[in-house]
Amino acid sequence: MIDIAAHFPILSKPVHGKKLHYLDSGATSLKAQSVIDAVNAYNAEYSANVHRGTYYFSEIATKRFEDVREKVRTLINARSSHEIIFTKGTTDSINLVAHALGSQILDSNSEILLTTMEHHSNIVPWQLVCERTGAKIVVAEIDDNGALDILKIKNLINPRTKIVGVAHISNALGTVNDIKAITELAHAVGAKVVVDGAQAIAHVRVDVQDLNCDFYAFSAHKMYGPTGAGVLFGKRELLDAMPPYQGGGDMIASVTFEKTTYAKVPYKFEAGTPNIAGVIGLGAAVDFVREIGFKWIESHEDDLIAYAMKKLSEVKGLKLIGTAAHKKAAVSFVMEGVHPHDIATVVDRHGVAIRAGHLCAQPVMKRFGVTALSRASFGVYNTREDVDALCAALKSVSEVFGA
């Protein structure tokens, strides 16, 4: 077995005197040593702004910054590096599309199709644009297993549908959605598809040309990179036609008080000094993931999710929430008579870190009649030992609360 954990220095740090079992990668993944080194190298060895200087360090910083754009293009198989926009993360990316595209193509006769399982970052930006344009949000419901019905989506999509926003993988349920099929249905009526790929990018091989989605958003910190850096992929012809999202330095061709002309994509959407260190770290994270390979990642994590589902289902008083046939990366559950926050507090004393709360997915909570969930989410560094540690800690929860 590959010793992945050795690449993550934080895993050597004890928690409450116990070995750390980190099961909250869905919130933020741990940082690989190569990523930490890359960020430190930028700050210590060639810290300078990009695209602005003609001196040595600026030229190095600019080249390495732009090299990451090509690395990301290769990772997701985009046609051109001009289709890769650097953002603060998935939320920023979706807000960019909602503002720039939504304001351009939506009106009071338009509909935006979302699903019950969306993260708040793929709901609220669309609500804001609806307030400005008069467009209406339509919701595709999920079944009792937490899965979407493609036939129901087909019935909801119509000529008024202008945008379909959908998660590739649900952060709360782990459900994997058939993006390619949804895109085909959307494109049949001329709608554009915006994919929240935050929970997918580190777990499955993403090919945006094969998916044929119009936009794909993800964050560096979900794939072993730094926080505050992310990506928006957009088809070149759509990006060219969209107005800028923000104004400022580096997104212009010329400025006078009478008129401003804008730079070409992707720079048109990258106003101001970017998170250079974060993007450099993103590039190192891409290298790390590609070195491991998605063949190994998917095989390892599929085994882990199946093992976790089996072992957790054997815990007395525990109910799994989200049992779709095709799921990745996360397992959510409730325990009879115990609030998820109390569960998380008790298992933490055993060195086990899990998520508890509404998971930024309150419509999912409403759908399943709960106020909060406990969630264990996985990364490449996790093993069956982490699942066993969680289950042992959950037995302590039962003892403490008499569940």
Single-letter amino acid code for the residue at 300: H
Give me the residue label for tokens 């106003």.
271
Q: Count other C-beta atoms under 10 Å from residue 26's C-beta.
A: 25
Residue type, 292: I
The two structure tokens encoding residue 221: 């910190």
The CB density around residue 104, as the number of other CB atoms within 10 Å, is: 12
Let me know if 360 is a catalytic residue.
yes
Contact 222, 200 (CB under 8 A): no
- Give me the helix-helix angle, 294-313 and 276-292, nearest 10°: 80
Backbone phi, then psi, for 121, in 5-degree steps? -70, -10
CA–CA distance, 275 with 246 (Å, rounded to integer):
16
Q: Which helix (H) or strand (E) holds 137?
A: strand 136-140
CA–CA separation, 164 and 194 (whole Å): 6
140: amino acid identity, one letter: A
Rounded alpha-carbon distances, angstroms, from residue 354 to 311, 375, 378? 16, 6, 10
Helix, strand or coil, per DSSP, at residue 164: strand
Q: What sign does the CA torsion over 82, 86, 90, 96 have?
A: negative
Contacts of 369 (CB under 8 A, 6+ apart): none
Closest Cα partner for 156 from 174, 170, 146, 142?
Answer: 142
3-state DSSP assignment of residue 205: coil
Known catalytic residues?
Answer: 360
